[in-house]
Structure 1
């Protein structure tokens, strides 16, 4: 089955890539989840629009990625969340909340889909969050989760 990716899928490719996958994988997972669209001549024209949007959002080159990495590594990010006894949170901290906290702390704008959490953040404390800025550059920065008063 020939499909066009609309979002980045680990191990397959980036938005706008035209790939060949097994029928079941495409029909039962990629298409219903919105990760891809069925390939057609008309849909192939949409690839240019998808790639243009991706280029505007992506970090341009290795130099810019290293510059953003330097900004992130010098940043102290603090998140406040409601918690119960023992520091256990009501819910968990999402990548979107981390991106907002980075922006509030004076850091660069990040794509929430590029954040890599080792495990879900469900308790108060200090965590190390990684963000993949470029295929060759990964930045790591501390996030401190505190209980709301």
Structure 2
């Protein structure tokens, strides 16, 4: 099955790429979740607009990615959250919370889909978050969750 990706899918490709996948994977997973649309000749025109939108968000070259990595790794990000006496949060910290905290701390704009949180952040303290800046480069951001 031939599909056009609308979002980045790990191990498959990025937005605007035309990929060939097994029928079941495309029909049951990618298309219903909005990660891809069926390839048609008319859909090929949408590829240009998807790629243009991706180019605006994406970090173009490795040099700029290294610069952003330096900014992120030197940044001190504090996230206030409500917690109980034992230090467990009421809920968890989301990637949207992290993006907002980076902006408030004076950091660069980052796409929330590029943030990878290993285990959900549900306790107070310091946590490490990985951010994919470029296919060859990732940054590690230290997030300090404090009681609000």
Give the Å deviation of 1:85.
Answer: 2.8
Q: Corresponding residue for 1:143? A: 143
Q: Corresponding residue for 1:85? A: 85
Give the Å deviation of 1:52.
Answer: 0.6
Give the Å deviation of 1:34.
Answer: 0.3
Greater helix proportion: 1
Cα distance in 1 for partners of 2:25, 2:141 equals 35
Q: TM-score of the superposition, structure 2-length normalised?
A: 0.97
Does 1:114 pair with 2:128? Answer: no
Instruction: Count matched residues.
Output: 148
Q: Corresponding residue for 2:44? A: 44
Cα distance in 1 for partners of 2:8, 2:44 equals 17
Q: TM-score of the superposition, structure 1-length normalised?
A: 0.97
What do you get for the CA RMSD once the two structures are aligned?
A: 0.7
Cα distance in 2 for partners of 1:135, 1:123 equals 30
SS of the residue corresponding to residue 29 of structure 2 reads helix
